[in-house]
Amino acid sequence: GNFQDLVAFQKALWPIGPALSPASFLFLGDYVDRGAHSVEVVTYLLAQKLISPSKFKLLRGNHETRIQNAHSGYNPCFKDSCEKLFGHQVGHEVWESVNQVFDALPLAAIVDNSIFCVHGGIPAPSVLRSFCTGDMKPGPAALIAEINKISRDLPQPDPSQPQGDQLAWDLMWNDPAPSVSADKKVEGMGADGFGHNQSRGTAHMFSSEALDQFLRRSGFSHLVRAHEVRKTGFQVQQHSRMVTLFSSSGYCGANNEACCILACEGKLRFIRLEHNAEEVAEASAAAAEQEEGDESDDDDDIEDEPERANTFPANTGGKG
């Protein structure tokens, strides 16, 4: 919901429109909730997708689900923003229509045949059986085949619900395990390098060893993901094989920056937005009125409270 930063990226990266830009643009999800302009952000992105479908690629994040973007605790959630702008009846129809688009968004992308991109993280071996057990030859084709088995229309990815999908859930929700010293192990991690994601109450966390094995087997060089706020807008992690990217500055009142990645000529370059002090102060003051907190690894001034998956009220069918 940070439309100010989206416009700033537009001015820096595609000032005369994506159709005339030599680059293509990949977005990693979480377009709505918490920010004051979720409707504007998603409207702009979908409009650009219609205008330049081959240039704009939108992945699905964990907030592109009804149960998340109808959660009033996000203050405002996407559903509340729609109803505030358009009224209860029309707003609900807009919210539902946009979520029908979210239902069909892809869950992963591959850049330059070497960079695996998702919102959350790599999936656990238990949900990639044929890929991880050797039933299929190593390489990206095996992984793509597994992901393409996921329904192209997935209103409810939560595997605890009917019609849910654990692989989709992992791609949207997984996190890297917290960093520990070489002589220590993260509590709850299995022999495969995965463990229950206790901080979120759902999905998995994965170790650097699990990431190395996944990248080696799939033939990729790096993982690029989002899902966690970072003070500088990005963080290079897990033996420099993974980048966590965050593209919304002043998140929930925190003093974090926004960043994107330029993948060009076999290199990854980081581009951070620069806001003057007055803009940052105004944005932080406005955001401070909203709900505080998201996750962090080691950024001391950012609230270390990972958001948790919301549970379904009785007989809502996952429609919020």
CA distance 102 to 99: 5
CB 262 within 8 A of CB 97: no
154, two tokens: 């997935």
The span from the CA of 246 to the CA of 233, in Å, is 5
Q: Could you tell me the two tokens for 95? A: 């919210």
Token digits of residue 67: 């149960």
The C-alpha atoms of residue 133 and residue 120 are separated, in whole angstroms, by 23
Residue 6, token pair as written in the block:
């989206």
d(CA 159, CA 166) in angstroms, rounded, equals: 5
Among 60, 82, 111, residue whose Cα is nearest residue 220? 111
Q: Enter the tokens of residue 236.
A: 């290079």
Terminal-residue alpha carbon distance, the chain: 19
Which of 146, 116, 148, 121 minimizes the C-alpha distance to 133? 146
Q: How far is CA 1 from CA 37, 105, 220, in A?
A: 4, 18, 31
273 contacts 259 by C-beta, under 8 angstroms: yes
CA dist list (Å): 45 to 59, 94, 157, 174? 11, 15, 22, 25
DSSP 309: P
Q: Is 132 within 8 Å of 142 (Cβ atoms)?
A: no
Cα separation, 222 vs 241, whole angstroms? 5
Which residues are annotated as catalytic? Answer: 63
